[in-house]
Each structure stands twice: as C-alpha cells, then as structure tokens.
Amino acid sequence: MSRRGRLVVVVTGASSGIGRGVAQALAARGADVVLAARSEQTLSAVARECEERGGRVLVVPTDVSDEAAVQVLARRAVGTFGRIDAWVNAAAVWSYGLFEDTPGAVFRQIVDTTLFGQVHAARSVLPQFRSQGHGVLINIGSLYGRLSSPYVAPYVTAKWGLLGFSEVLRQELRDAPGIAVCTVLPGAVDTPIYRHAANYIGRRIRPLPPVTSPERVVAAVVDAIDRPRREIVVGRTQRVGAWAHGLVPGLYDRAIGPVVNAFAVRGTPVSSHDGTVFAPDSLPCAVDDGWRRHDHRILGQALTVSAGLGALAIVVRALGRRR
C-alpha cells in the first residue's frame, strides 16, 4: 500500500477481462478505484463487486477512443479523490479476419481504442503525475507487440505501436524519476475478448493455446503498481514464439499460419459481424471466459508444436553460427 494512504487507481477497460480483474484486486487491497468503460450498466456491476471487497469506487462511463472523454475521466478522478497514483490502460477491442476482408472503419476503430485510447490516457494523466511528483502508468500490451499472426492486422498494428509509444514515454520522462511507465505483455489470456471480437473469417475463433489465466496478468499489473518495471511478460510458453520470431523470422512466417489455422480457428461457421468494436456487449461480462477448462487435449498438441518450433530455431541458429 502506498505511503500516501489509499491508492487511487484509474482502470480503463474495467467492464470485463483483465481490467475487471485488476479493479477487483485493487479494491480488495482497499484502493480507491475509478472504473472506466463504455457500458454504465456493466460498470455498475463491477462497482458493486469492488465495494463488496472494501474499495471505494467512482464510475465514469468512457469511450477511450474519444480524447475529450478521457480528459473528463482524469478530471473526475482527481476531483473526487484528490490525485491519481496509478492509471491502468486495459481497454482494447479485437477483430479476426484477413486484412483485405476487414472493413476500414473496423480497422481504424480498433487502433483508435487499443492504441490511441492509451495515448489519450497518457496525455490526460501525465500532467497530473508531474504536478504531484509521482505516478505509475501501466499499458496493457501484448506479445502481439513483438510478433504477429494472420487475421489480426489491426490489433497487431495497435500493440506494436503501443510498445514503441511506451518506450518513448520512458525516455522522455527521465527528468521525472517519480513517474514510471510499465508495459505488461501477456500472451493469449482467458478473457471474453475473443467472444467479443469482430469476425470476418467465417468460422468461430478461440485463443491460441496455451491460454494464460487472467489472474496471473492481474497479479503482474498489481505488482507493477508497487514495483514498477519497464516490461513484464506474462506467459512463459508464448515467449518461445517471440524468441523464434526474432531469431528465425522466415521460419516463423511459414509456421505461424498453419499453427493458427489448426489451433485458433474452429470449424463452426459464423456470419460476419462487428463484435463489440463499435458498441459494448449487452450481455453480462466476466473476468474469464472458460477457455482453459476445455484445453486439456489441445494444450498437449500446442505445447508439442511450440517445443518443436523452439528446437528448430536452435538448430537453425547453430547452423548459422557454423557458417
């Protein structure tokens, strides 16, 4: 807990998944939590969960792709609690489909939410951090900020951009040692974002196994508020993919398509739809979405593929050194 008393933390994307889990965890520690997402109805449910855990809560319905709305969010947080100790950027939307099949408006909205939503947050909160002399900005990135795969062009574009943006902020804030910028990079996480994704591929999708529990990511975020670090990777197995991507990019490019088609694209046909890209889900949301409960058989296959890709990368690297 902060020496300043109760932590004051703004959490965007607080309606489901990682954001909702972070809000609950912080409330359980007695923090003052400012909840932001597009759906006021869902945020009200999250607020009750946080209050039951002992936190004080402010609900501010916010579309983070609207910079003016994010400025209002920051002002209301300071106006209610007097300061902001940390800001957690967890808002994101997702689509699945070939780039050529993804509508331009969908591509832009995903980048506006998943990248510019975090840019707007930084622009809104950094002056407050500077004025009070401290603050932690946590950007929830993704290992898709270091690698890529077919069908997720707008999300990968946003996450690669977020990684660079966070790095620039750290460089520019060297004159403010009390301010930290942390990037949390999870792999595939068991959250509703896959169910909420826009779909232009014509088949049902699922996260690429092995799927990390949202609790692990939540714990990493909460720990980063106490002990800020530059980058935190969550999901050991997915690191193999990031390593292979950097070490043998040609091999990675050839392998990733078949891997995604085998393990993330299901046979069930679905009609094209925009998911929650433009509007929040009207149904109740949660922290997790139950993917891990059905992964026992497919997990072994995915681990075998990951191990094989890693071993092949080692062989290719060794052969390259001999030459």
What tokens does 323 get? Answer: 């030459």
CB 64 within 8 A of CB 158: no
**Rounded Cα distance, 4 and 97, in Å:** 47
Closest of 181, 69, 161 to residue 115, by C-alpha: 161
Fill in the DSSP letter of residue 270. -
Catalytic positions are 155
The beta-strand segments (E) located in 117-159 are: 135-140
Q: Report the alpha-carbon distance of residue 123 to residue 34 in Å, rounded.
A: 17
Give DSSP secondary structure letters for 37-101: -S-HHHHHHHHHHHHHTT-EEEE----TT-HHHHHHHHHHHHHHHS--SEEEE-----EES-GGG
- 178-195 burial by CB neighbour count: b if 16+ within 10 A, else e? ebbbbbbbbbbbbbbbbb
